[in-house]
Amino acid sequence: MSKNWWKVLASVFVLYSVVAGLLFKVPTLPILHESIRNLYYHVPMWFAMVVIYSVAVYYSIRYLQTGDENHDLVAVEAVNTGLVFGLVGLASGMVWANYTWGAPWPNDPKLNSAAIATLLYFAYTVLRSSLDEEQKRAKIAAIYNIFAYPIMVVLLFVLPRLTDSLHPGNGGNPGFGAYDLDSNMRFVFYPAVLGWIGIAVWIVNIRYRIRKIENKRNQI
Amino acid sequence: MKLFAQIKHLLYKEILLEWRSKYAFNGILLYVVSTVFVCYLSFRSTPPLVWNALFWIILLFAAINAIAKSFMQESKGRLLYYYQIASPQAIIIAKIIYNALLMTLMSAVALVVYSIVFQNNVGDWLLYALAVLIGAISFSSVFTMISAIASKANNNGTLMAILSFPVIIPVIILIIKLSKNAMDGLDRSVSWDEIGVLTAINFIVVTVSLLLFPYLWRD
Amino acid sequence: MKKTALSFILMLSAVSLFAQENGVEMADKLRASGKIYVVVAVMLLLFTAFILYLFSIDKRLKKVEKGN
């Protein structure tokens, strides 16, 4: 049980964010109204996605260093899970944008960047499926993954800051700090982010273990 | 020092090979000129925004076609030969430099043809030329590595496009913005941000290529 | 330990009771009827189920791993 403490912690954080996110006081802002509470649910998806893509890159680097097949398996499953979180983040963002910015796909650099970053990782999966030989596939996929990662960082964190954006913190818009001057939101937001990162890592962990068993079975 | 000598030799060899056949150069030149002409016939005159975007799209496809060949056209025997005489870093740097030269030449020609055929007002020609130069270099640094990856994966042309588009989009966005600034003749200090980020992207991409290419090369 | 936990909970409940008056219309009516707690209960139930399900998958996987 002691090995599972982080899973329990992540679960508690997520459950706490569900309750507190709905009940606690939020700043009263025009346009956003109550929908500001989406911050607790929509934004953690992106945090979780970026964290597990970073995990994928870490294991890709480890794979190139050691040639251990298991590292490649972690990288694949991290990318697969990251894609799920990215798609959920995009979808939830579209719903939110539809009611606050007036359109599901306002021409916003952060949206476009997120969509392109998702395409980047779809390209990774296509690259993998185009190769048959296992070691070669692992190696080339790892190389592409490492090559793509800095580009994704530029897409998600640099480009939106250069252009006008509807998202807070970009292109002259006030940062996240302006929305929680009373800092009450931090009490919910940070646990929510940590909790979802924990859940994402947990899912990666489960998928990796399944993959490992499948892999073993295929080899026999 | 040995690395520089190797790079110089490889670069010389690439240019010599190209000079003898002039295949890539003539092919791409014809491609660019005919695309420009097709665009001219279908558009006649364009608003500045379209003019700019169209130019970069033409260059983008020319670059993909030109650079995709850089690893695929090498025969297996020749690759084995390189493997013995040169370090992987020298090979990738030589390829990047060669592609950058080729692309610079190509885009210069394309720019001249394009601006003669399509009349348009560019406010700051110097900055526009700089944008084209940076664009050519960025395309070649990004596509060289992607073409190396794609060549290892079954020499597939479609794969090259799939892998390179998401990677090149941030570069394209920045370049289109930079060249639009040049067209509008905005003050040059406005464009420093874009130039800075583009330089940073190029720097990162070349560094990552240098680190990763040895792994790709070893087979 | 218990004291800090207790004070933390008290602080959070105090935070939630703050009144807000600056003219921006919030869903105060929903809150006034108290039905929001039903929604919270349902969502809590759903997420608890989701997490318990994850735990059960984890447990089953552990069994399979041991079997191999």
pLDDT tens column, A190-204: 889 999 999 999 999
A50 vs B81, more confident:
A50
Residues of chain A found within 8 Å of residue B209, distances taken between Cβ atoms: 147
pLDDT tens column, B35-90: 888 888 888 777 888 888 889 999 998 888 888 877 777 777 777 787 778 888 88
Q: Is residue A39 within 8 Å of residue A189, measured between CB atoms?
A: yes
Residues of chain B found within 8 Å of residue A144, distances taken between Cβ atoms: 149, 163
Residue A51, pLDDT > 90, answer yes
Whether C and A touch, i.e. at least 3 CB pairs below 8 A, reads as yes
Number of CB pairs, chain A paired with chain C, less than 8 A apart: 69
Residues of chain C found within 8 Å of residue A81, distances taken between Cβ atoms: none
- Looking at the complex, does the CB of residue A26 fall below 8 Å from at least one CB of chain B? no
- Looking at the complex, does the CB of residue B145 fall below 8 Å from at least one CB of chain A? yes
pLDDT tens column, C18-30: 444 456 667 777 6
AA identity, residue A206: I
Position C53 in a domain: yes
**pTM for this entry:** 0.84
Residues of chain C found within 8 Å of residue A19, distances taken between Cβ atoms: 40, 43-44
pLDDT tens column, A113-169: 889 999 999 999 999 988 888 888 999 999 999 999 998 888 888 887 776 666 765
Residue A181 confidence (pLDDT): 46
Q: Which among A151, A152, A157, A162 is the top mutation candidate for probing chain B, defined by the most B β-carbons within 10 Å of its own β-carbon? A: A151
pLDDT tens column, B189-217: 878 888 988 999 999 999 999 999 888 87
Position C63 in a domain: yes
Residue B212: domain span:
2-217
Residues of chain A found within 8 Å of residue B173, distances taken between Cβ atoms: 159
How far is residue A67's CA from residue B49's CA, in Å, rounded to a whole number?
49
Its sign, for the CA torsion A33, A34, A35, A37, is: positive
- Looking at the complex, does the CB of residue A157 fall below 8 Å from at least one CB of chain B? no
pLDDT band at C13; cut points 50, 70, 90:
low
- Three-state DSSP at A99 gives helix
- Looking at the complex, does the CB of residue A162 fall below 8 Å from at least one CB of chain B? yes
Residues of chain B found within 8 Å of residue A64, distances taken between Cβ atoms: 212, 215
Mapping DSSP onto H, E and C, the string for A18-84 reads: HHHHHHCCCCCCCCCHHHHHHHHHHHHHHHHHHHHHHHHHHHHHHHHHHCCHHHHHHHHHHHHHHHH
Position C49 in a domain: yes
pLDDT band at B140; cut points 50, 70, 90:
very high
Per-position b or e across A148-173, b if 16+ CB within 10 A of its CB: bbbbbbbbbebbbebbebbbebbeee
Neighbours of B45 (CB within 10 A): 10
Residue C57: domain span:
35-68
pLDDT tens column, B89-123: 888 898 899 999 989 998 998 898 888 888 777 88
- Cβ <8 Å between B153 and A140: yes
Question: Using CA atoms in the order A27, A31, A36, A41, what is the torsion angle rounded to 10 degrees?
Answer: -170
Residue A25 confidence (pLDDT): 74
- Cβ <8 Å between B170 and A116: yes
Q: Please give the tally of structural domains in chain C.
A: 1
Nearest chain A residue to B213 by CA distance is: A143
Instruction: Read off the tokens for A217.
Output: 């079975």
- Cβ <8 Å between B169 and A116: yes
Q: Is residue A207 within 8 Å of residue A80, measured between CB atoms?
A: yes
- Cβ <8 Å between A163 and B166: no
- Cβ <8 Å between A148 and B166: yes
- Looking at the complex, does the CB of residue B165 fall below 8 Å from at least one CB of chain A? yes
Its sign, for the CA torsion A93, A94, A100, A105, is: positive
Whether C and B touch, i.e. at least 3 CB pairs below 8 A, reads as no
Residue A60 confidence (pLDDT): 94
- Across the interface, of C36, C47, C68, the residue whose CB is closest to A14 is C47
- Looking at the complex, does the CB of residue A31 fall below 8 Å from at least one CB of chain C? no
Q: Is B83 exposed, middle or buried (0-12, 13-18, 19+ CB in 10 A)?
A: middle
pLDDT band at A96; cut points 50, 70, 90:
confident
Q: Please name the residue that has the structure tokens 């992987």.
A: B88
Of all residues in chain A, what percent carry a pLDDT higher than 90?
Answer: 41
- Looking at the complex, does the CB of residue B75 fall below 8 Å from at least one CB of chain A? no
Whether B and A touch, i.e. at least 3 CB pairs below 8 A, reads as yes
Q: What is the mean pLDDT of chain A?
A: 84
Q: Please give the tally of structural domains in chain B.
A: 1
Q: How far is A152 from chain B (nearest CA, A)?
A: 8
pLDDT band at B24; cut points 50, 70, 90:
confident
